[in-house]
Amino acid sequence: MKALRDVTRTITSAQSFVNNDTKHLNKLITSERGVWHAFSTLAYDQNEAAKYLSVWGKSEDVDLTDVTEKVSYLITKLSEAEGVLANHYSQYRSHLKEIRIREDSMREQRSKKETLWSKLEKEERKSNPSKQRSEAAEKRIQDYHNELNKLDKDTLDAETSLADFKRKELHEALTAQFDAFLEFGEKLVIISKHCKKIIDQIPITETRPGEPREQYRGNYRTSCC
């Protein structure tokens, strides 16, 4: 019984190691593609919005024309920053894809291990704990163990190298991702602060019906921004 439990425990542990497919990594890459596409779409839509803000402003009074033109220019710069963010995000995904390629290169060897462990587990389940195994059954089990030991030795270097590679690539991937967020965040803060200064030049005092609107004097301040 103890021998059977030991083998079963070993099988469970080994299967969790060899059953290392890329299903979840594929889902991660696919999800991140959606994020990248959203950033790319945002950059395009933001640029279009900036264009039409300026066009609309030209049909209004001088104050709104001036403010919308200046804000539109800065929104265009924001759109460029979003485009850069999308490009950096694509680089982040590239690192994840490199991990997937290396994982796929190990698929054949891992599949062989998984098949052998399945055969070994099946052979163990056929054994009756109250009876001694036949010599043929013992030989099959030993053969499976020998094949698995040989596969472990043959793939040890590749598995170790892959484990190191995954850590290096993930480090670079996440660094690229959050460096991109940090860079975009800094640009967003700068652009937003300038836009706020320009927006503050819009006169919001009420004009009495029939009286002229107060002369706009914000051109100098908006130009400085």
Q: In terms of DSSP H, where are the helices of the chain?
A: 2-18, 23-57, 62-105, 107-126, 135-199, 219-224
The CA distance from 142 to 126, in Å, is: 15
- Could you tell me the mean pLDDT of each successive run of 10 residues in the chain, 225 residues long? 42 42 89 96 97 96 94 97 96 95 79 72 66 69 73 77 93 96 97 95 89 85 80
CA dihedral 137, 140, 143, 147 (to 10 degrees): -130
Task: Classify residue 211: in a domain, yes or no.
Answer: no
* pLDDT the model gives residue 155: 75
Whether residue 65 is contained in a domain is answered as: yes
Looking up residue 159, the CATH number of its domain turns out to be 1.20.1270.60
Q: How many domains does the chain have?
A: 1
In a domain, 221, yes or no: no
Could you tell me if residue 223 is inside a domain?
Answer: no
The pLDDT value recorded for residue 135 is 67
Domain range holding 51?
Answer: 24-122+134-203
Residue 7 lies in a domain: no
pLDDT, residue 131, reads 60
According to the model, what pLDDT value does residue 10 have? 45
Q: What is the pLDDT of residue 98?
A: 95
Residue 8 within a domain: no
Q: Are 75 and 46 in contact (CB under 8 A)?
A: yes
Evaluate whether residue 12 is within a structural domain: no
What does the pLDDT read at residue 174? 96
User: Is 3 a domain residue?
Assistant: no
Which pTM value belongs to this model?
0.72
Judge residue 50's burial from the number of C-beta atoms within 10 Å of its C-beta, 0-12 exposed, 13-18 middle, 19 or more buried: buried
